[in-house]
Amino acid sequence: MNSKNLILLILMISTLTARSQKNDDPTIYQFKVTNLEGEEFDFNTLKGKKVMIVNTASKCGLTPQYKKLQELYEKYGDKDFVIVGFPANNFLFQEPGSDEEIATFCEKNYGVTFPMMSKISVKGKNMHPVYQFLTQESKNGVLSSSVSWNFQKYLINPDGRVAKVISPRTQPDDPTVISWIEN
Protein backbone atom coordinates (compact mmCIF):
# COMPACT_ATOMS: atom_id res chain seq x y z
CA MET A 1 0.00 0.00 0.00
CA ASN A 2 1.46 3.35 -0.98
CA SER A 3 1.56 6.31 1.40
CA LYS A 4 -1.30 8.09 -0.39
CA ASN A 5 -3.64 5.12 0.13
CA LEU A 6 -2.49 4.73 3.73
CA ILE A 7 -3.32 8.36 4.48
CA LEU A 8 -6.71 7.95 2.82
CA LEU A 9 -7.39 4.84 4.91
CA ILE A 10 -6.41 6.63 8.13
CA LEU A 11 -8.71 9.55 7.26
CA MET A 12 -11.62 7.18 6.58
CA ILE A 13 -11.13 5.38 9.89
CA SER A 14 -10.89 8.71 11.76
CA THR A 15 -14.12 9.93 10.15
CA LEU A 16 -15.98 6.73 11.00
CA THR A 17 -14.72 6.86 14.60
CA ALA A 18 -15.79 10.49 14.97
CA ARG A 19 -19.23 9.70 13.57
CA SER A 20 -19.72 6.82 15.96
CA GLN A 21 -18.85 9.08 18.90
CA LYS A 22 -21.29 11.83 17.89
CA ASN A 23 -24.78 11.82 19.34
CA ASP A 24 -26.42 10.77 16.06
CA ASP A 25 -28.46 8.20 17.98
CA PRO A 26 -29.76 10.15 20.99
CA THR A 27 -30.88 7.95 23.89
CA ILE A 28 -31.21 8.32 27.65
CA TYR A 29 -28.31 5.86 27.97
CA GLN A 30 -25.75 8.62 27.43
CA PHE A 31 -26.34 10.02 30.95
CA LYS A 32 -24.76 9.40 34.32
CA VAL A 33 -26.27 11.18 37.30
CA THR A 34 -25.95 11.13 41.08
CA ASN A 35 -28.53 9.43 43.29
CA LEU A 36 -29.77 10.64 46.69
CA GLU A 37 -27.02 8.64 48.40
CA GLY A 38 -24.34 10.48 46.41
CA GLU A 39 -23.49 7.49 44.21
CA GLU A 40 -23.25 7.46 40.42
CA PHE A 41 -26.28 6.14 38.56
CA ASP A 42 -25.61 5.17 34.94
CA PHE A 43 -28.67 5.12 32.67
CA ASN A 44 -26.73 2.68 30.49
CA THR A 45 -27.61 0.00 33.07
CA LEU A 46 -31.28 0.37 32.05
CA LYS A 47 -30.81 -0.72 28.42
CA GLY A 48 -33.71 -2.87 27.28
CA LYS A 49 -36.06 -1.64 30.02
CA LYS A 50 -39.04 0.67 29.90
CA VAL A 51 -38.30 3.70 32.06
CA MET A 52 -40.55 6.31 33.63
CA ILE A 53 -38.71 9.48 34.60
CA VAL A 54 -40.64 11.74 36.95
CA ASN A 55 -39.79 15.04 38.62
CA THR A 56 -40.93 14.92 42.24
CA ALA A 57 -41.60 17.26 45.17
CA SER A 58 -42.33 16.59 48.84
CA LYS A 59 -44.65 19.53 49.53
CA CYS A 60 -46.96 19.46 46.51
CA GLY A 61 -50.63 18.61 46.19
CA LEU A 62 -49.54 15.82 43.84
CA THR A 63 -47.03 14.34 46.33
CA PRO A 64 -49.40 11.43 47.14
CA GLN A 65 -48.54 10.13 43.65
CA TYR A 66 -45.44 8.66 45.32
CA LYS A 67 -47.74 5.92 46.66
CA LYS A 68 -48.96 4.92 43.19
CA LEU A 69 -45.47 5.24 41.73
CA GLN A 70 -44.19 2.81 44.36
CA GLU A 71 -47.10 0.41 43.73
CA LEU A 72 -46.38 0.53 39.99
CA TYR A 73 -42.69 -0.15 40.63
CA GLU A 74 -43.51 -3.10 42.89
CA LYS A 75 -45.91 -4.55 40.32
CA TYR A 76 -43.76 -4.14 37.21
CA GLY A 77 -40.21 -3.67 38.53
CA ASP A 78 -39.29 -7.29 37.83
CA LYS A 79 -40.75 -7.03 34.31
CA ASP A 80 -38.10 -4.76 32.77
CA PHE A 81 -39.69 -1.55 34.03
CA VAL A 82 -38.08 1.05 36.27
CA ILE A 83 -39.06 4.44 37.67
CA VAL A 84 -36.39 7.09 38.15
CA GLY A 85 -37.33 10.05 40.33
CA PHE A 86 -35.71 13.47 40.13
CA PRO A 87 -36.60 15.79 43.02
CA ALA A 88 -36.84 19.38 41.81
CA ASN A 89 -37.61 22.69 43.51
CA ASN A 90 -38.79 24.50 40.38
CA PHE A 91 -42.45 24.97 41.25
CA LEU A 92 -43.40 27.19 44.20
CA PHE A 93 -40.41 25.92 46.23
CA GLN A 94 -42.19 22.62 46.88
CA GLU A 95 -38.97 20.60 47.27
CA PRO A 96 -36.87 22.66 49.70
CA GLY A 97 -35.08 19.76 51.43
CA SER A 98 -31.58 18.39 51.09
CA ASP A 99 -30.98 15.04 49.39
CA GLU A 100 -30.82 13.39 52.82
CA GLU A 101 -34.12 14.98 53.90
CA ILE A 102 -35.78 13.97 50.63
CA ALA A 103 -34.58 10.36 51.01
CA THR A 104 -35.93 10.21 54.57
CA PHE A 105 -39.27 11.74 53.52
CA CYS A 106 -39.73 9.31 50.61
CA GLU A 107 -38.85 6.25 52.69
CA LYS A 108 -40.79 7.23 55.79
CA ASN A 109 -43.98 8.42 54.09
CA TYR A 110 -44.21 6.28 50.96
CA GLY A 111 -41.72 3.41 51.30
CA VAL A 112 -40.06 4.46 48.04
CA THR A 113 -37.61 1.85 46.74
CA PHE A 114 -37.33 2.96 43.11
CA PRO A 115 -34.18 4.91 42.20
CA MET A 116 -34.26 8.52 43.38
CA MET A 117 -31.65 10.93 42.09
CA SER A 118 -30.10 13.99 43.63
CA LYS A 119 -32.20 17.17 43.46
CA ILE A 120 -31.88 19.00 40.14
CA SER A 121 -33.50 21.78 38.13
CA VAL A 122 -35.99 20.68 35.46
CA LYS A 123 -36.61 24.15 33.99
CA GLY A 124 -34.85 27.39 33.18
CA LYS A 125 -31.24 28.32 32.68
CA ASN A 126 -30.00 25.72 35.17
CA MET A 127 -31.96 22.85 33.61
CA HIS A 128 -30.16 19.54 34.14
CA PRO A 129 -28.82 17.87 30.94
CA VAL A 130 -31.20 14.89 31.43
CA TYR A 131 -34.15 17.29 31.28
CA GLN A 132 -32.63 19.16 28.34
CA PHE A 133 -32.64 15.78 26.60
CA LEU A 134 -36.22 14.99 27.67
CA THR A 135 -37.65 18.37 26.64
CA GLN A 136 -35.76 19.27 23.45
CA GLU A 137 -36.35 17.52 20.15
CA SER A 138 -32.93 18.72 19.00
CA LYS A 139 -31.42 16.56 21.77
CA ASN A 140 -33.82 13.57 21.92
CA GLY A 141 -34.70 13.30 18.22
CA VAL A 142 -38.41 12.75 18.95
CA LEU A 143 -40.31 15.66 20.49
CA SER A 144 -40.16 18.94 22.37
CA SER A 145 -42.06 19.54 25.58
CA SER A 146 -41.86 21.59 28.73
CA VAL A 147 -42.17 20.49 32.32
CA SER A 148 -45.43 22.03 33.47
CA TRP A 149 -45.40 20.97 37.14
CA ASN A 150 -44.19 18.42 39.65
CA PHE A 151 -44.85 14.75 38.81
CA GLN A 152 -44.70 15.09 35.03
CA LYS A 153 -43.81 11.70 33.63
CA TYR A 154 -41.57 10.86 30.68
CA LEU A 155 -41.94 7.35 29.31
CA ILE A 156 -38.78 5.96 27.70
CA ASN A 157 -38.93 2.94 25.40
CA PRO A 158 -36.49 0.01 25.83
CA ASP A 159 -34.36 1.51 23.03
CA GLY A 160 -33.73 4.58 25.23
CA ARG A 161 -35.91 6.96 23.23
CA VAL A 162 -38.69 9.19 24.54
CA ALA A 163 -42.07 7.55 23.90
CA LYS A 164 -44.60 9.80 25.65
CA VAL A 165 -44.99 12.70 28.02
CA ILE A 166 -47.65 12.20 30.69
CA SER A 167 -49.27 15.18 32.41
CA PRO A 168 -48.49 15.77 36.10
CA ARG A 169 -52.18 15.37 37.03
CA THR A 170 -52.42 12.01 35.26
CA GLN A 171 -51.99 9.29 37.86
CA PRO A 172 -49.07 6.86 37.49
CA ASP A 173 -51.51 3.94 37.18
CA ASP A 174 -53.56 5.56 34.41
CA PRO A 175 -54.66 3.04 31.72
CA THR A 176 -52.46 4.85 29.17
CA VAL A 177 -49.39 4.21 31.31
CA ILE A 178 -50.34 0.63 32.15
CA SER A 179 -50.97 -0.15 28.48
CA TRP A 180 -47.54 1.24 27.55
CA ILE A 181 -45.83 -0.81 30.28
CA GLU A 182 -47.60 -4.05 29.37
CA ASN A 183 -47.29 -3.80 25.57
Residues acting as catalytic residues: 60
List Cα–Cα distances, 77 to 19, 46, 89, 114, in angstroms. 35, 12, 27, 9
Q: Are strands 50-56 and 153-156 parallel, antiparallel or unpaired?
A: antiparallel
How far apart are the C-alpha atoms of 53 and 43, rounded to whole Å? Answer: 11
Distance of CA 125 to the CA centre of its chain: 19
User: Are the C-beta atoms of 88 and 125 separated by less than 8 Å?
Assistant: no
User: Are the C-beta atoms of 180 and 164 separated by less than 8 Å?
Assistant: yes
